[in-house]
């Protein structure tokens, strides 16, 4: 396992193992606006790549559940740690 730095904009999406809870459940990870995402985010806690997925998503994903975080939670983490979405830097 690699050591993840959440502030590293160059973080790469981790190799998938096939054991990720989101496999074949994409629709649960991009719920309709207003839907509860708590259960989906909790399922990520069983994921073997959760930390690296979160680090990547902080820099790349505005929507959906990634790395046990909701879109709103990542927005707060970006503010707290001064992280800007990659596509907004260009």
* Nearer of residues 20 and 90 to ligand SF4, judged by Cβ: 20
Question: Is the Cβ of residue 3 or residue 90 nearer to ligand SF4 in the bound state?
Answer: 3
Find the Cα–Cα–Cα–Cα dihedral 41, 88, 82, 57, rounded to 10°: 20
Tokens of 60: 């790349």
Residue written as token pair 């730095």: 5
Residues 32-71: x where in contact with ligand SF4 by CB under 6 A, - otherwise, as a string: ------------x--x-xx--x-----------xxxx---
Greatest Cα-to-Cα distance within the chain, rounded to the nearest angstrom: 35
Binding site for ligand SF4 (CB under 6 A): 20-22, 29, 44, 47, 49-50, 53, 65-68
């Amino acid at each position: 396992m690699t050591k993840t730095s959440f502030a590293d904009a160059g973080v790469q999406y981790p190799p998938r193992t096939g054991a990720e809870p989101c496999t074949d459940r994409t629709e649960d990870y991009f719920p309709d606006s207003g839907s509860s995402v708590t259960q989906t985010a909790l399922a990520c806690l069983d994921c073997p790549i959760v930390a690296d997925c979160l680090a990547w998503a902080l820099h790349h994903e505005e929507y959906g559940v990634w790395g046990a975080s909701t879109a709103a939670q990542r927005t707060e983490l970006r503010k707290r740690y001064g992280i800007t979405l990659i596509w907004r830097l260009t």
